[in-house]
Amino acid sequence: MKLPTPLIELEKLRVDFGGSGGRRVRAVRDVDLTIYQGETLGLVGESGCGKSTLGRATVRVTEPTGGTIRYLGADITTLRGAHFRQTRAELQMVFQDPFGSLNPRRTVADIVAEPLLRARRTPRPEARRIVDDLLDQVGLGREAGTRRPHEFSGGQRQRIGIARALAPAPTFVVADEPVSALDVSIQAQVINLLADLIRERGLTMLFISHDLGVVRHIADRIAVMYLGEIIEIASRDDFFAGPAHPYGEALLSSVPTLSRQPRRERIELTGDLPDPAAPPAGCTFHTRCRYAVDRCRTEAPALTEVAAGRQVRCHFPLLPVKGPA
Protein backbone atom coordinates (compact mmCIF):
# COMPACT_ATOMS: atom_id res chain seq x y z
CA MET A 1 0.00 0.00 0.00
CA LYS A 2 1.16 3.52 -0.87
CA LEU A 3 1.38 6.02 1.90
CA PRO A 4 -2.13 7.45 1.99
CA THR A 5 -2.63 11.15 1.29
CA PRO A 6 -5.59 12.81 2.99
CA LEU A 7 -8.07 14.24 0.49
CA ILE A 8 -10.76 15.38 2.89
CA GLU A 9 -10.12 16.19 6.54
CA LEU A 10 -12.99 17.01 8.85
CA GLU A 11 -12.18 18.54 12.18
CA LYS A 12 -14.81 18.95 14.89
CA LEU A 13 -17.44 19.22 12.17
CA ARG A 14 -20.79 20.16 13.63
CA VAL A 15 -24.28 20.66 12.17
CA ASP A 16 -27.16 21.83 14.34
CA PHE A 17 -30.75 22.21 13.23
CA GLY A 18 -33.06 24.54 15.09
CA GLY A 19 -36.19 22.42 14.84
CA SER A 20 -39.84 23.03 15.54
CA GLY A 21 -41.03 23.68 19.10
CA GLY A 22 -37.60 24.47 20.49
CA ARG A 23 -36.34 21.08 19.28
CA ARG A 24 -32.69 21.62 18.50
CA VAL A 25 -31.15 18.63 16.83
CA ARG A 26 -27.41 18.22 16.89
CA ALA A 27 -27.35 16.14 13.74
CA VAL A 28 -23.55 15.99 13.46
CA ARG A 29 -21.59 16.30 16.70
CA ASP A 30 -17.93 17.25 16.46
CA VAL A 31 -16.90 14.71 13.89
CA ASP A 32 -13.19 14.21 13.16
CA LEU A 33 -12.70 12.17 10.03
CA THR A 34 -10.05 11.78 7.33
CA ILE A 35 -10.82 10.39 3.91
CA TYR A 36 -7.74 9.37 1.93
CA GLN A 37 -7.12 9.86 -1.75
CA GLY A 38 -8.46 6.99 -3.84
CA GLU A 39 -10.28 5.24 -1.02
CA THR A 40 -13.93 4.50 -0.61
CA LEU A 41 -15.14 5.05 2.91
CA GLY A 42 -18.42 3.30 3.66
CA LEU A 43 -20.65 5.19 6.11
CA VAL A 44 -23.31 3.16 7.84
CA GLY A 45 -25.56 3.71 10.83
CA GLU A 46 -29.05 4.00 12.14
CA SER A 47 -31.68 5.83 10.15
CA GLY A 48 -31.66 9.46 11.32
CA CYS A 49 -28.21 9.33 12.90
CA GLY A 50 -26.82 12.09 10.68
CA LYS A 51 -25.16 10.31 7.74
CA SER A 52 -26.76 12.45 5.04
CA THR A 53 -26.14 15.59 7.02
CA LEU A 54 -22.47 14.69 7.47
CA GLY A 55 -22.16 13.90 3.76
CA ARG A 56 -23.93 17.08 2.71
CA ALA A 57 -21.85 19.22 5.05
CA THR A 58 -18.61 17.67 3.77
CA VAL A 59 -19.30 19.04 0.28
CA ARG A 60 -21.08 22.08 1.74
CA VAL A 61 -24.52 21.38 0.33
CA THR A 62 -25.52 21.99 3.94
CA GLU A 63 -23.42 24.63 5.70
CA PRO A 64 -21.77 23.35 8.88
CA THR A 65 -22.48 25.09 12.16
CA GLY A 66 -18.91 24.64 13.32
CA GLY A 67 -15.59 22.95 12.65
CA THR A 68 -13.40 22.83 9.56
CA ILE A 69 -13.36 21.04 6.23
CA ARG A 70 -10.04 20.72 4.45
CA TYR A 71 -9.77 19.61 0.84
CA LEU A 72 -6.24 18.69 -0.25
CA GLY A 73 -4.93 20.55 2.76
CA ALA A 74 -6.77 23.81 2.04
CA ASP A 75 -9.51 25.05 4.34
CA ILE A 76 -12.72 25.24 2.27
CA THR A 77 -15.12 25.73 5.18
CA THR A 78 -15.98 29.28 4.25
CA LEU A 79 -14.69 29.51 0.68
CA ARG A 80 -17.01 31.54 -1.55
CA GLY A 81 -17.51 32.89 -5.05
CA ALA A 82 -15.34 31.89 -8.00
CA HIS A 83 -12.88 29.92 -5.85
CA PHE A 84 -15.64 27.81 -4.50
CA ARG A 85 -17.21 27.30 -7.94
CA GLN A 86 -14.09 25.45 -9.05
CA THR A 87 -13.89 23.34 -5.94
CA ARG A 88 -17.60 22.60 -6.17
CA ALA A 89 -17.10 20.88 -9.54
CA GLU A 90 -14.60 18.55 -7.91
CA LEU A 91 -16.79 17.68 -4.94
CA GLN A 92 -20.04 16.13 -6.06
CA MET A 93 -23.00 14.54 -4.38
CA VAL A 94 -25.50 11.84 -5.33
CA PHE A 95 -28.59 12.72 -3.28
CA GLN A 96 -30.56 10.21 -1.29
CA ASP A 97 -33.94 11.36 -2.57
CA PRO A 98 -33.62 11.18 -6.32
CA PHE A 99 -36.93 12.81 -7.08
CA GLY A 100 -36.69 15.70 -4.66
CA SER A 101 -33.31 16.62 -6.11
CA LEU A 102 -34.21 16.61 -9.81
CA ASN A 103 -35.81 19.67 -11.38
CA PRO A 104 -39.11 18.36 -12.77
CA ARG A 105 -39.31 20.94 -15.53
CA ARG A 106 -36.00 20.13 -17.19
CA THR A 107 -35.04 17.27 -19.44
CA VAL A 108 -32.74 14.57 -18.15
CA ALA A 109 -29.97 15.65 -20.53
CA ASP A 110 -30.13 19.23 -19.20
CA ILE A 111 -30.08 18.02 -15.61
CA VAL A 112 -27.02 15.85 -16.15
CA ALA A 113 -25.25 18.56 -18.18
CA GLU A 114 -25.84 21.28 -15.60
CA PRO A 115 -22.72 20.83 -13.43
CA LEU A 116 -20.62 20.59 -16.60
CA LEU A 117 -21.92 23.81 -18.08
CA ARG A 118 -22.09 25.77 -14.84
CA ALA A 119 -19.06 24.73 -12.86
CA ARG A 120 -16.76 23.36 -15.52
CA ARG A 121 -17.78 25.72 -18.35
CA THR A 122 -17.59 22.82 -20.77
CA PRO A 123 -18.57 23.74 -24.36
CA ARG A 124 -22.06 22.45 -25.22
CA PRO A 125 -21.19 19.89 -27.91
CA GLU A 126 -18.62 18.27 -25.65
CA ALA A 127 -21.03 18.33 -22.72
CA ARG A 128 -23.60 16.63 -24.94
CA ARG A 129 -21.16 13.82 -25.72
CA ILE A 130 -20.23 13.31 -22.08
CA VAL A 131 -23.90 13.23 -21.07
CA ASP A 132 -24.81 10.69 -23.76
CA ASP A 133 -21.96 8.42 -22.73
CA LEU A 134 -22.89 8.63 -19.06
CA LEU A 135 -26.56 7.87 -19.70
CA ASP A 136 -25.43 4.76 -21.58
CA GLN A 137 -23.02 3.77 -18.82
CA VAL A 138 -25.61 3.96 -16.05
CA GLY A 139 -27.93 1.80 -18.12
CA LEU A 140 -30.56 4.40 -18.97
CA GLY A 141 -29.58 4.81 -22.60
CA ARG A 142 -28.96 8.17 -24.28
CA GLU A 143 -32.58 8.32 -25.52
CA ALA A 144 -33.57 8.95 -21.90
CA GLY A 145 -32.06 12.44 -22.26
CA THR A 146 -35.13 13.93 -23.90
CA ARG A 147 -37.56 12.80 -21.17
CA ARG A 148 -38.38 14.43 -17.83
CA PRO A 149 -37.77 13.01 -14.32
CA HIS A 150 -41.42 12.16 -13.49
CA GLU A 151 -41.50 9.72 -16.41
CA PHE A 152 -38.92 7.51 -14.72
CA SER A 153 -39.12 4.79 -12.12
CA GLY A 154 -37.43 5.14 -8.74
CA GLY A 155 -34.31 3.28 -9.80
CA GLN A 156 -34.10 5.14 -13.10
CA ARG A 157 -34.22 8.47 -11.27
CA GLN A 158 -31.47 7.30 -9.00
CA ARG A 159 -29.28 6.66 -12.03
CA ILE A 160 -30.00 10.15 -13.36
CA GLY A 161 -28.59 11.47 -10.08
CA ILE A 162 -25.49 9.30 -10.42
CA ALA A 163 -24.89 10.46 -14.00
CA ARG A 164 -25.23 14.08 -12.91
CA ALA A 165 -22.71 13.70 -10.10
CA LEU A 166 -20.17 11.94 -12.33
CA ALA A 167 -20.53 14.37 -15.26
CA PRO A 168 -17.97 17.00 -14.19
CA ALA A 169 -15.33 14.28 -13.55
CA PRO A 170 -15.16 14.99 -9.80
CA THR A 171 -12.29 13.90 -7.56
CA PHE A 172 -14.59 13.27 -4.60
CA VAL A 173 -18.17 12.05 -4.54
CA VAL A 174 -20.52 11.71 -1.61
CA ALA A 175 -22.85 8.94 -2.75
CA ASP A 176 -25.88 8.90 -0.44
CA GLU A 177 -27.69 5.58 -0.87
CA PRO A 178 -26.89 5.65 -4.59
CA VAL A 179 -28.08 2.15 -5.43
CA SER A 180 -30.86 1.56 -2.89
CA ALA A 181 -33.65 1.68 -5.49
CA LEU A 182 -31.98 -0.60 -8.01
CA ASP A 183 -32.63 -4.26 -8.55
CA VAL A 184 -29.58 -6.30 -7.63
CA SER A 185 -28.52 -6.85 -11.20
CA ILE A 186 -28.54 -3.18 -12.23
CA GLN A 187 -27.08 -2.45 -8.81
CA ALA A 188 -24.18 -4.76 -9.62
CA GLN A 189 -23.67 -2.91 -12.92
CA VAL A 190 -23.62 0.48 -11.22
CA ILE A 191 -21.28 -0.72 -8.47
CA ASN A 192 -18.94 -2.18 -11.07
CA LEU A 193 -19.06 1.15 -12.95
CA LEU A 194 -18.17 3.03 -9.76
CA ALA A 195 -15.38 0.54 -9.06
CA ASP A 196 -13.97 1.18 -12.56
CA LEU A 197 -14.05 4.94 -12.03
CA ILE A 198 -12.34 4.53 -8.68
CA ARG A 199 -9.59 2.51 -10.32
CA GLU A 200 -9.23 4.48 -13.56
CA ARG A 201 -9.68 8.03 -12.31
CA GLY A 202 -8.60 7.56 -8.72
CA LEU A 203 -12.05 8.70 -7.59
CA THR A 204 -12.45 9.06 -3.82
CA MET A 205 -15.83 8.33 -2.34
CA LEU A 206 -17.89 8.61 0.81
CA PHE A 207 -20.42 5.86 0.26
CA ILE A 208 -23.50 6.01 2.50
CA SER A 209 -25.62 2.90 2.53
CA HIS A 210 -27.85 0.71 4.64
CA ASP A 211 -26.97 -2.31 2.55
CA LEU A 212 -24.02 -3.90 4.29
CA GLY A 213 -23.53 -6.37 1.44
CA VAL A 214 -23.06 -3.48 -0.99
CA VAL A 215 -20.79 -1.64 1.44
CA ARG A 216 -18.66 -4.72 1.86
CA HIS A 217 -18.13 -4.90 -1.89
CA ILE A 218 -17.24 -1.30 -2.52
CA ALA A 219 -15.68 0.15 0.62
CA ASP A 220 -12.06 -0.04 1.77
CA ARG A 221 -12.88 1.23 5.24
CA ILE A 222 -16.09 1.43 7.23
CA ALA A 223 -17.25 4.21 9.54
CA VAL A 224 -20.26 3.61 11.78
CA MET A 225 -22.37 6.51 13.06
CA TYR A 226 -24.78 6.66 15.96
CA LEU A 227 -26.63 9.79 17.09
CA GLY A 228 -24.41 12.27 15.28
CA GLU A 229 -21.08 10.71 16.23
CA ILE A 230 -18.66 8.29 14.66
CA ILE A 231 -18.57 5.27 16.96
CA GLU A 232 -16.32 2.93 14.99
CA ILE A 233 -13.83 3.11 12.14
CA ALA A 234 -12.25 -0.05 10.80
CA SER A 235 -10.90 -1.61 7.66
CA ARG A 236 -13.51 -3.44 5.63
CA ASP A 237 -12.18 -6.89 6.55
CA ASP A 238 -11.83 -6.11 10.25
CA PHE A 239 -15.37 -4.77 10.42
CA PHE A 240 -16.95 -7.72 8.68
CA ALA A 241 -14.87 -10.16 10.70
CA GLY A 242 -16.57 -8.70 13.77
CA PRO A 243 -17.54 -5.13 14.65
CA ALA A 244 -15.91 -3.83 17.81
CA HIS A 245 -18.81 -1.60 18.87
CA PRO A 246 -21.94 -3.25 20.28
CA TYR A 247 -24.12 -1.24 17.88
CA GLY A 248 -22.11 -2.48 14.90
CA GLU A 249 -22.46 -5.99 16.22
CA ALA A 250 -26.26 -5.67 16.39
CA LEU A 251 -26.28 -4.13 12.91
CA LEU A 252 -24.33 -6.92 11.27
CA SER A 253 -26.39 -9.57 13.03
CA SER A 254 -29.63 -8.08 11.64
CA VAL A 255 -28.75 -8.28 7.95
CA PRO A 256 -31.43 -10.37 6.28
CA THR A 257 -29.81 -13.23 4.45
CA LEU A 258 -30.87 -15.26 1.52
CA SER A 259 -31.05 -18.62 3.18
CA ARG A 260 -33.66 -21.30 3.31
CA GLN A 261 -33.58 -21.54 7.08
CA PRO A 262 -35.00 -18.55 8.88
CA ARG A 263 -32.49 -16.40 10.68
CA ARG A 264 -30.67 -17.76 13.71
CA GLU A 265 -29.10 -15.48 16.31
CA ARG A 266 -30.18 -11.93 15.71
CA ILE A 267 -29.41 -9.32 18.31
CA GLU A 268 -32.65 -7.43 18.67
CA LEU A 269 -32.19 -3.89 19.84
CA THR A 270 -34.67 -3.24 22.58
CA GLY A 271 -34.80 -0.38 25.00
CA ASP A 272 -35.62 3.23 24.36
CA LEU A 273 -34.80 4.73 21.01
CA PRO A 274 -32.98 7.91 21.93
CA ASP A 275 -34.44 11.22 20.81
CA PRO A 276 -31.79 13.04 18.75
CA ALA A 277 -32.88 16.31 20.33
CA ALA A 278 -32.09 14.93 23.79
CA PRO A 279 -29.30 12.37 23.56
CA PRO A 280 -28.77 10.14 26.62
CA ALA A 281 -25.97 10.95 29.06
CA GLY A 282 -22.83 8.82 29.15
CA CYS A 283 -22.51 6.53 26.15
CA THR A 284 -25.33 7.51 23.80
CA PHE A 285 -25.92 3.84 23.00
CA HIS A 286 -26.38 2.71 26.61
CA THR A 287 -30.20 2.72 26.46
CA ARG A 288 -30.13 -0.15 23.99
CA CYS A 289 -26.80 -1.81 24.63
CA ARG A 290 -26.86 -5.34 25.97
CA TYR A 291 -23.46 -4.91 27.64
CA ALA A 292 -24.14 -1.59 29.39
CA VAL A 293 -23.04 -1.21 33.00
CA ASP A 294 -23.23 1.77 35.37
CA ARG A 295 -20.13 3.41 34.00
CA CYS A 296 -21.74 3.55 30.51
CA ARG A 297 -24.67 5.56 31.89
CA THR A 298 -22.52 8.33 33.30
CA GLU A 299 -19.22 8.49 31.50
CA ALA A 300 -19.10 9.16 27.75
CA PRO A 301 -16.49 7.00 26.01
CA ALA A 302 -14.06 8.72 23.64
CA LEU A 303 -13.25 7.51 20.13
CA THR A 304 -10.13 5.50 20.95
CA GLU A 305 -7.63 3.62 18.84
CA VAL A 306 -7.90 -0.03 19.89
CA ALA A 307 -5.80 -1.60 17.12
CA ALA A 308 -3.92 -0.35 14.09
CA GLY A 309 -6.38 1.63 11.95
CA ARG A 310 -9.26 0.79 14.23
CA GLN A 311 -11.06 3.28 16.46
CA VAL A 312 -14.01 2.58 18.73
CA ARG A 313 -16.15 4.70 21.03
CA CYS A 314 -16.97 2.17 23.74
CA HIS A 315 -15.72 1.41 27.23
CA PHE A 316 -15.76 -2.31 26.47
CA PRO A 317 -14.92 -2.82 22.80
CA LEU A 318 -15.55 -6.29 21.40
CA LEU A 319 -12.25 -7.39 20.04
CA PRO A 320 -11.05 -10.73 18.80
CA VAL A 321 -9.03 -12.48 21.50
CA LYS A 322 -6.01 -13.03 19.29
CA GLY A 323 -5.78 -9.40 18.17
CA PRO A 324 -2.73 -7.95 16.39
CA ALA A 325 0.21 -7.43 18.73
Ligand X SMILES: Nc1ncnc2c1ncn2[C@@H]1O[C@H](COP(=O)(O)OP(=O)(O)OP(=O)(O)O)[C@@H](O)[C@H]1O
The binding site for ligand X (CB under 6 A) comprises 17, 19, 25, 27, 45, 47-53, 96, 150-156, 181, 276
Can you tell me which of 40, 52, 122, 311 binds Mg ion, judged by CB under 5 A? Answer: 52
**Between 149 and 168, how does the x/- string for binding to Mg ion read (CB under 5 A)?**
----xx--------------
Smallest gap from Cβ 148 to ligand SF4, in A, equals: 47
Interacting residues with another protein between 166 and 205 (CB under 8 A): 177, 180-189, 191-192, 195
Q: Which is nearer to ligand SF4, 144 or 231 (CB)?
A: 231
**Between 135 and 164, how does the x/- string for binding to another protein read (CB under 8 A)?**
----xxx-xx-xx---xxxxxx--------
Q: Does residue 106 interact with another protein by CB under 8 A? A: no
Which residues, 6+ apart, have CB-to-CB distance to 173 below 8 Å?
Answer: 91, 92, 93, 94, 165, 166, 203, 204, 205, 206
Smallest gap from Cβ 298 to ligand SF4, in A, equals: 11
Can you tell me which of 45, 170, 243, 246 binds another protein, judged by CB under 8 A? Answer: 45
The site for ligand SF4, by CB under 6 A, has a size of 13
Smallest gap from Cβ 281 to ligand SF4, in A, equals: 11
Smallest gap from Cβ 109 to ligand SF4, in A, equals: 49
Q: Which is nearer to ligand X, 37 or 62 (CB)?
A: 62
Q: Does residue 174 interact with ligand SF4 by CB under 6 A? A: no
Q: Which is nearer to ligand SF4, 286 or 310 (CB)?
A: 286
Q: Does residue 301 interact with ligand SF4 by CB under 6 A? A: yes
CB 287 within 8 A of CB 300: no
Classify strands 74-75 and 66-71 as parallel, antiparallel or unpaired: antiparallel
**Between 214 and 253, how does the x/- string for binding to ligand SF4 read (CB under 6 A)?**
-------------------------------xx-------
Three-class DSSP labels, the chain: CCCCCEEEEEEEEEEEEECHHHCEEEEEEEEEEEEECCCEEEEEECCCCCHHHHHHHHCCCCCCCEEEEEECCEECCCCCHHHHHHHHHHEEEECCCCCCCCCCCCCHHHHHHHHHHHCCCCCHHHHHHHHHHHHHHCCCCHHHHHCCHHHCCHHHHHHHHHHHHHCCCCCEEEEECCCCCCCHHHHHHHHHHHHHHHHHHCCEEEEECCCHHHHHHHCCEEEEEECCEEEEEEEHHHHHHCCCCHHHHHHHHCCCCCCCCCCCCCCCCCCCCCCCCCCCCCCCCCCCCCCCCHHHHHCCCCCEEEECCEEECCCCCCCCCCCCC
Q: Which is nearer to Mg ion, 94 or 131 (CB)?
A: 94
Interacting residues with ligand SF4 between 96 and 155 (CB under 6 A): none
Smallest gap from Cβ 51 to Mg ion, in A, equals: 5
Query: Which residues here bind ligand SF4, judged by CB under 6 A?
Result: 245-246, 283, 285-286, 289, 291-292, 296, 301, 314-316
